[in-house]
Amino acid sequence: MHRHFNGLKTAALFGVLWAVLLGIGALIASGTGSAAPLWIFALIGVASTAYGYWNSDKIAIRSMQAYPVTEQQAPAIYRIVRELSTKANQSMPAIFISPTQSPNAFATGRNPQNAAVCCTEGILAILDERELRGVLGHELMHVYNRDILTSSVAAAVAGVITSVAQMMLFFGGGDRRNANPVALLAMSLFAPLAASMIQLAISRTREYDADEDGSTLTDDPLALASALRKLETGVQRAPLPQDQNLVNTSHLMIANPFKGGGAAKLFATHPPMADRIARLEKMAGRPLT
C-alpha cells in the first residue's frame, strides 16, 4: 500500500530525531557528569504528550468550534464514512461539522474506536460527493495508520529537545570546564531547528501516506486529486486566522489552512499540493482532466 516507502521514511526520520536527543544527552552528561536534566524534561514531555494524545479528539474539535451532526443532518457524510469504515473493517467514527467557510477536513482520535471526522461548512460547499469521498478516505486512513500517535510522539521528542536546548543556552550546560563551549552553543542553537524540521518532515510524510492509502481505500485517486486542487484555491480565498489553538491543530487538516508563501512554506506541516496531486495522478495512471 505504501508505494513511496513512507513507513520506512518515517522510521528513518524518527531515528534522526532520537539521535539529536541522544546527542544532547551526551553533551549534558560530559559537562555535568549527569543526564538527569534530560530525563526530567523527557518525563515532562511524556506527561504532556499523553494528555494531548488521550484528548486529541476533544482538543481539535473544540479548536474548530465543531458540533456533532446526525445522519439526518449530514446523510452524504454518514453514507460515505459508513461505506469506507465497513470496507476497512473498522469502527464508525463520530461525525462533526465546523461552522467555518474555510474549506478543510480532519480526523482525530487515539484509535479507530475513539475517532472523530470533521468537515467544515466550506468544504461541503465546494466539493461534489465523489471528491468528498476522496477526502474522507484520506482522513480515515490517518486514524487507521495511527498517525495521531505518530505525530504526538514526534511533537513530544521535538519539545524535549527544544526545552533542553534552551536550558543549555541559558545555563551553560553545567560545568564548563568539561563541556566544549563551541559544541554547547552549536547544539543549543541547531537542535531546536533540527527537531522542528524533522517533526515537519514526519508530518508531510504521513500526508503522502494518507493520500496513497486513502485512494487505495476509495479506489479513486483522481477524486482526491480533484478535491486537493479545489482546496488549494479555496483556502487561499478563505484562510483560517492564525489563532494559536488553530495553529496547534493545523497539522491534522487535509490542507494547510493558513495563507502563506515564501519562507512560510519551509515550515509548513503539509507537502506542496502540486506534489500530492502528481503522486495521485501517477497512482491513477493518467493526469487529472
Q: Indicate if 121 belongs to the active site.
A: no
Per-residue model confidence (pLDDT) at position 117: 95
Q: What would the pLDDT profile of 62-114 be if each residue is shown by its tens digit? A: 889 999 999 999 999 999 999 999 999 999 999 999 999 999 999 988 788 88
Per-residue model confidence (pLDDT) at position 285: 85
Residue among 139, 207, 212, 232 flagged as catalytic: 139
* Model confidence, pTM: 0.77
> Cell numbers of 263, please?
519562507
Q: Is residue 42 over pLDDT 50?
A: yes
Query: If DSSP codes are grouped into helix, strand and coil, which group holds residue 131?
Result: helix
Per-residue model confidence (pLDDT) at position 1: 43
Mean residue pLDDT of the chain comes to 80
Which among 239, 238, 273 is positioned nearest to 254, based on CA atoms?
273
For the structural domain made of 55-157+190-284, what CATH number should be given?
Answer: 3.30.2010.10
**Longest C-alpha distance within the chain, in Å?**
71
Query: If DSSP codes are grouped into helix, strand and coil, which group holds residue 32?
Result: helix
Domain residues of the chain, as ranges? Answer: 55-157+190-284
CA distance 261 to 113: 38
% of the chain with per-residue pLDDT over 90: 43
Per-residue model confidence (pLDDT) at position 278: 95
28, with CB counted inside 10 A (0-12, 13-18, 19+), is: buried
- What does the pLDDT average to over 152-179? 63
- What does the pLDDT average to over 14-20? 70
Which among 4, 1, 46 is positioned nearest to 204, based on CA atoms?
4
Q: What would the pLDDT profile of 189-235 be if each residue is shown by its tens digit? A: 666 666 676 667 778 888 999 999 999 999 999 999 999 999 999 99
